[in-house]
Structure 1
């Protein structure tokens, strides 16, 4: 239960319930306000059109002279400040007037009087016409009372007219406060989520996310997510440390194994050298030659394994310089020429200048790449007895092509290894920002090493 009250759901429910309570209290206060107005309306129920009309007739009929009419006008003005009153005497002359805003003629005739009555009957303002003196005595003329229709509105309508805007503003303030609180609530959530997202995207020196500084006072759903994230970061860091330790042990093991394997290989090479000097039968000579080839092959595999390990650990020395690639490849194939010729290969070399013959690369690394590729041709494509090395240039790139007529990379070979040689080629070319492609089928393999032109 304690965790629930710390949750975001509980906090937002409190905001909703508070808002509903405020609205209900507001409605209750408005209801009480209008109830008090209803009580007031009962007290002021005398202000009806019928009662006003009867009272006006009574007051005007009882007037005996002009002095009395002024007194009556003053009394009605005190009671109804917005009332308009005027008196037209028996001769049709406009005599007295109070709060008269419209333009009326000084001389009234029967036609204008009829028109005035017609225009103001059942209209706004409310108009009452009463004759001075007794009902049958019209020699003193008539008096007119005009009151705005809203004077007779019920108190509730008057209150709405007077306080409606204020009440609406108060309700809008309540709604605005609720929206503002909700906005701040969700803004706080969004800020914490963005902070968590930023922590997930940011990487430290070990390429792992950094831990988030937690607020122990905010252990809601996001706080629990931050805690879980920190735990995940700790576990990842521990896992990476274990992986680094295991990698270090593996490199040390490979280095030790390479050293331990090379020692007996060196001794075996020495024994083979001694056997070659002995008088052997042809079968013996073939056996010694096969043993020597196997030793060389094992030594090459050990060298590749060491190089691959150093490359993966970024420990292989890399010193890039500007190199004339055409000359470099020509010298490299020249060093292998006798080897291919001895094995009966047909060698085709077509090396011409490129658009950009100066390649920025490590000569040792690229020499290792070419040695691996030539060695693969010698071991796995020997049945084709063909190798071609040539340059190619296009609008997009300059390249070196190495082609053989073997049975393809996918073909099973008695000397096929784990593919470490090609893995070394791929890693070295990537590091030197060079691209390469392989096309291989039953008719041979074509390898293209290319430099993209800027």
Structure 2
């Protein structure tokens, strides 16, 4: 009777030790995996356990880590090549466009038939649109391939938002948009790049001009949350999810590269903020939190 009890006790101790070792191994693997995913190093997972199955698991995890790093490297390399290509293309387009605009200005001073005058106006309009798109593409490439130029400073978000809306007054009036503005009296002060914030607001207002069905609401709360809302019946929830994707446009957005909101998101994230979009009952809301 004593022998079975001793054997049972020994087995119990053995299993307890085995379980403790497995738990320790699991903790080591979890910590090592977390460290490998957070840091850009070539370190692999190591474990002190001599258990065959544990070491097999670690080996398989390391194989997957190597594949993941190779995919990440290819993605980063491809993304950089795309950004450089965009920079070069946009830069190369600016020179001939400038020359075209110059010759068009010279043609406008020449005697022309009414029909030639009409054609020239069409060409001028298309050229100006192309020039604007090229400039937007160039600004995007600069933002994506370089560090922010401006120095962080104390900025009144209220003032920058009011100035941005006032700067678009004529464009909004042409579109028949009378913005409903609700800006808190509390001064919202943040440490950030003033010019970058102004660019964000500019791009968001431009977005409202493109997609709005005839209204625009802008609000700033005391906690630094800015909301741009407008009716946009042509937008679906699927389209809204893609609004911040670079080069994405919907049919309603003419003369657009689809970079405005992508630039806004990049700048907001560089300033440590968040930005998101949603649509509910035909109303598009873009929420920016600083």
Q: Hey, what does 2:61 align to over in structure 1?
A: 229
Q: Do residues 196 (structure 1) and 35 (structure 2) align?
A: no
Unaligned stretches of 5+ residues in structure 2: 237-249
Q: Hey, what does 1:211 align to over in structure 2?
A: 44
Q: Hey, what does 2:9 align to over in structure 1?
A: 176
Q: Do residues 362 (structure 1) and 193 (structure 2) align?
A: yes
Q: Which has the higher contact order (CA 8 A, sep 6+)?
A: 2
Q: 1:248 Cα deviation (Å)?
A: 2.1
Alpha-carbon distance between aligned partners in 2 of 1:426 and 1:286, rounded to the nearest angstrom: 40
Q: Please give the residue correspondences for 1:134-283 in structure 2 after superposition, counting only pairs within 5 Å.
A: 168=2, 170-203=3-36, 206=39, 210-213=43-46, 218=50, 220-283=52-115
Unaligned stretches of 5+ residues in structure 1: 1-166
**Number of aligned residue pairs:** 276
Alpha-carbon distance between aligned partners in 2 of 1:297 and 1:356, rounded to the nearest angstrom: 38
Cα gap change, 1:280 to 1:233, in 2 (>3 Å): same
Determine if contact 1:399/1:450 at 8 Å carries over to the other structure.
yes
From the CA coordinates, give the structure whose radius of gyration is larger.
1
Q: Please give the residue correspondences for 1:56-71 in structure 2 after superposition, counting only pairs within 5 Å.
A: none
Q: Please give the residue correspondences for 1:24-423 in structure 2 after superposition, counting only pairs within 5 Å.
A: 168=2, 170-203=3-36, 206=39, 210-213=43-46, 218=50, 220-309=52-141, 311=143, 315-317=147-149, 319-339=151-171, 343=174, 345=176, 347=178, 354-378=185-209, 391=219, 393=221, 399=226, 401=228, 409=235, 412-413=251-252, 415=254, 417=256, 419-423=258-262
Alpha-carbon distance between aligned partners in 1 of 2:179 and 2:27, rounded to the nearest angstrom: 62
Alpha-carbon distance between aligned partners in 2 of 1:337 and 1:319, rounded to the nearest angstrom: 28
Alpha-carbon distance between aligned partners in 2 of 1:380 and 1:254, rounded to the nearest angstrom: 26
| RMSD between superposed Cα atoms in Å | 3.9
Q: 1:396 Cα deviation (Å)?
A: 6.3
Cα gap change, 1:278 to 1:377, in 2 (>3 Å): farther
Determine if contact 1:356/1:398 at 8 Å carries over to the other structure.
no
Q: TM-score, normalised by structure 1?
A: 0.50
> What secondary structure is seen at the aligned counterpart in 2 of 1:354?
coil
Determine if contact 1:372/1:425 at 8 Å carries over to the other structure.
yes
Alpha-carbon distance between aligned partners in 1 of 2:15 and 2:147, rounded to the nearest angstrom: 56
Q: 1:368 Cα deviation (Å)?
A: 1.4
Cα gap change, 1:397 to 1:439, in 2 (>3 Å): farther
Q: 1:260 Cα deviation (Å)?
A: 1.4
Determine if contact 1:204/1:210 at 8 Å carries over to the other structure.
no
Q: TM-score, normalised by structure 2?
A: 0.72
Q: Hey, what does 2:265 align to over in structure 1?
A: 426
> What secondary structure is seen at the aligned counterpart in 1 of 2:36?
coil
Cα gap change, 1:197 to 1:329, in 2 (>3 Å): closer
Determine if contact 2:83/2:141 at 8 Å carries over to the other structure.
yes
Cα gap change, 1:451 to 1:206, in 2 (>3 Å): closer
Q: 1:261 Cα deviation (Å)?
A: 1.5
Q: 1:211 Cα deviation (Å)?
A: 0.8
Cα gap change, 1:313 to 1:175, in 2 (>3 Å): farther
> What secondary structure is seen at the aligned counterpart in 1 of 2:154?
strand
Alpha-carbon distance between aligned partners in 1 of 2:107 and 2:140, rounded to the nearest angstrom: 34
Alpha-carbon distance between aligned partners in 1 of 2:12 and 2:276, rounded to the nearest angstrom: 61
